[in-house]
């Protein structure tokens, strides 16, 4: 069988056998417990030392689909569903369209990003994305941060979501210049702008690029407080048939090529996806040196 790769990690036959043993020994305690135990047994951790629990959950599901393991019945229906699955959005009065805002971006004075922290804020963010983003609300896997975009007056303008980067992206990887081991070690240092929404009733030219520029300034510190390390590069994927990526260009993002029509979870070329332009934004000047290094000093930078 040889080595198998799931969620950016290679698993040996011995490790797969150990996972099967853990399923037999502790599977009755639930899949969440199982994913934590697998991370502990295999020393699968983030840069900050925490277990890569969410990545492991997805890896286990993919292993089962490939026929390598049989997971216990989920104690909670819906646990570990298909990565990127589109979910129904809640509908509340809070998420109903607001009054139209039409002005110049400078007339808004200051805008700010409000981190989504509480459960109620998370449900509100989910509703807005589900109702007004063309892709709807989908589950995000791995490390993630979400924001509400507000004007100085408190008026809600939109939403931003950041999550784990795509495992492979030919144009991105060529532009960075790293090899397989370097990518495997440092992929966490790239963060994907997975959702960006300016609400339909907000008509403010230049707002989108201003929000992106603000995100590039504040996200590294927020990410470090949450996960213990700073990202080095932002990425996003923009459908070529829908959008030109004008706001990303205006915010000094760099278009480095196009996707091959696969999602970031599709390893086997099974699911055709729309072609997307790949946009990147370096957060530090020496991002290539850091991303292309596996030395300890670069890992802790």
Residue 269 maps to a domain: yes
Same domain? 57 vs 90: no
Q: How far is the C-alpha of 147 from the C-alpha of 226, rounded, in Å?
A: 14
Mean pLDDT of 216-233: 94
Q: How far is the C-alpha of 121 from the C-alpha of 111, rounded, in Å?
A: 18
The predicted pLDDT at position 80 comes to 46
Answer with the one of 13, 35, 65 that is the final residue of a domain: 65
Q: What is the CATH number of the domain that holds 169?
A: 3.40.630.30
Q: Quick one: what percent of the chain has pLDDT higher than 90?
A: 58
| Top-ranked range on mean pLDDT: pick from 91-100, 142-151, 207-216, 219-228 | 207-216
**Tokens, residue 155:** 């008026």
Domain residues for the domain of 40 are: 4-65
Same domain? 37 vs 138: no
Q: How far is the C-alpha of 150 from the C-alpha of 125, rounded, in Å?
A: 13
Dihedral sign computed on CA atoms, order 135, 83, 118, 235: negative
Q: How far is the C-alpha of 63 from the C-alpha of 70, rounded, in Å?
A: 8
The predicted pLDDT at position 77 comes to 55
119 neighbors 76 (Cβ within 8 angstroms)? no
Residue 72 maps to a domain: no
Phi, psi of 207 (to 5 degrees): -65, -40
Same domain? 164 vs 37: no
Residue 58 maps to a domain: yes
- What HEC string does the chain produce? CCCEEECCEEECHHHHHHHHHHHHHHHHHCHHHHHHHHHHHHCCECCCCCECHHHHHHHHHHHHHCCCCCCCCCCCCCCCCCCCCEECCCCCHHHCCCCCEEEEHHHHCCEEEEECCCHHHHHHHHHHHHHHCCCCEECCCCCCEEEEEEECCCCEEEEEEEEECCCCCHHHHHHHCCCHHHHHHHHHHEEEEEEEEECCCEEEECHHHHHHHHHHHHHHHHHHHHHCCCCCEEEEEEECCCCCCHHHHHCCCEEEEECCCCCCCCCCCCCCCCCEEEEEEECCCCHHHHHCCCCHHHHCC
Confidence category of residue 298, pLDDT binned at 50, 70, 90: very low
Same domain? 118 vs 242: yes
pLDDT 10s digits, 244-259:
999 999 999 999 999 9
Q: Is residue 217 scored above 80 in pLDDT?
A: yes
Mean pLDDT of 139-160: 91
The predicted pLDDT at position 299 comes to 43
Cα→Cα distances 209→21, 200, 231, 252, Å: 51, 16, 20, 9
- Average pLDDT for the chain: 87
Of the candidate ranges 22-36, 79-93, 168-182, the one whose mean pLDDT is the lowest: 79-93
Same domain? 220 vs 267: yes
How many domains, the chain? Answer: 2
Q: Is residue 49 scored above 60 in pLDDT?
A: yes
**Tokens, residue 154:** 């408190």
The predicted pLDDT at position 288 comes to 96
The predicted pLDDT at position 269 comes to 53
Residue 78 maps to a domain: no
Same domain? 14 vs 97: no
Same domain? 17 vs 59: yes
The predicted pLDDT at position 88 comes to 66
Residue 33 maps to a domain: yes
pLDDT 10s digits, 1-22:
567 888 778 898 899 999 999 9
Same domain? 133 vs 198: yes
pLDDT 10s digits, 75-134:
765 544 454 555 666 788 989 999 999 999 999 989 999 999 998 999 999 999 999 999
Cα→Cα distances 126→115, 119, 123, 138, 259, Å: 13, 10, 5, 9, 27
Mean pLDDT of 15-37: 89
91 neighbors 82 (Cβ within 8 angstroms)? no
**Tokens, residue 153:** 């007056």
Of the candidate ranges 73-82, 198-207, 230-239, 241-250, the one whose mean pLDDT is the lowest: 73-82
Residue 75 maps to a domain: no
Q: How far is the C-alpha of 70 from the C-alpha of 73, rounded, in Å?
A: 9
Residue 129 C-alpha from the chain's centroid: 15
pLDDT 10s digits, 177-194:
999 889 988 999 999 999
Find the farthest-apart pair of alpha carbons in the chain and give their distance in angstroms, rounded. 63
| Top-ranked range on mean pLDDT: pick from 31-40, 74-83, 231-240 | 231-240
Q: How far apart are the first and last CA of the chain?
A: 37
Of the candidate ranges 58-72, 197-211, 278-292, the one whose mean pLDDT is the lowest: 58-72
């Amino acid at each position: 069988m040889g080595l198998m790769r799931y969620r950016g990690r290679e698993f040996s036959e011995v490790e797969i056998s150990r996972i099967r043993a853990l399923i037999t020994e502790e599977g009755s305690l639930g899949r969440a417990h199982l994913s934590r135990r697998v991370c502990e047994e295999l020393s699968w951790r983030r840069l900050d030392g925490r277990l890569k629990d969410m990545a492991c959950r997805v890896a286990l599901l993919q292993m089962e689909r490939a026929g390598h393991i049989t997971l216990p019945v989920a104690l909670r229906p819906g646990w570990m569903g298909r990565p990127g699955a589109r979910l129904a959005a809640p509908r509340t009065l809070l998420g109903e369209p607001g009054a139209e805002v039409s002005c110049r971006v400078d007339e808004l004075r200051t805008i700010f990003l409000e981190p989504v922290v509480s459960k109620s804020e998370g449900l509100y963010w989910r509703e807005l994305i589900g109702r007004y983003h063309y892709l709807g609300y989908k589950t995000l896997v791995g490390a993630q941060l979400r924001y509400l975009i507000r004007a100085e007056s408190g008026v809600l303008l939109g939403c931003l979501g950041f999550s784990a980067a795509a495992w492979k992206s030919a144009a991105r990887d060529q532009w960075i210049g790293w090899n397989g081991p370097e990518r495997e070690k440092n992929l966490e240092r790239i963060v994907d702008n997975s959702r960006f929404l300016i609400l339909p009733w907000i008509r403010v030219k230049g707002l989108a690029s201003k929000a992106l520029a603000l995100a590039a300034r504040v996200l590294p510190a927020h990410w470090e407080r949450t996960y213990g390390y700073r990202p080095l590069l932002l990425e996003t994927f923009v459908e070529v048939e829908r959008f030109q990526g004008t706001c990303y260009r205006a915010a000094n993002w760099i278009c480095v090529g196009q996707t091959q029509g696969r999602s970031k979870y599709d390893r086997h070329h099974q699911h055709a996806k729309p072609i997307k332009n790949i946009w990147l934004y370096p957060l530090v000047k020496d991002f290539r040196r850091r991303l292309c290094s596996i030395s300890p000093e670069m890992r802790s930078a």
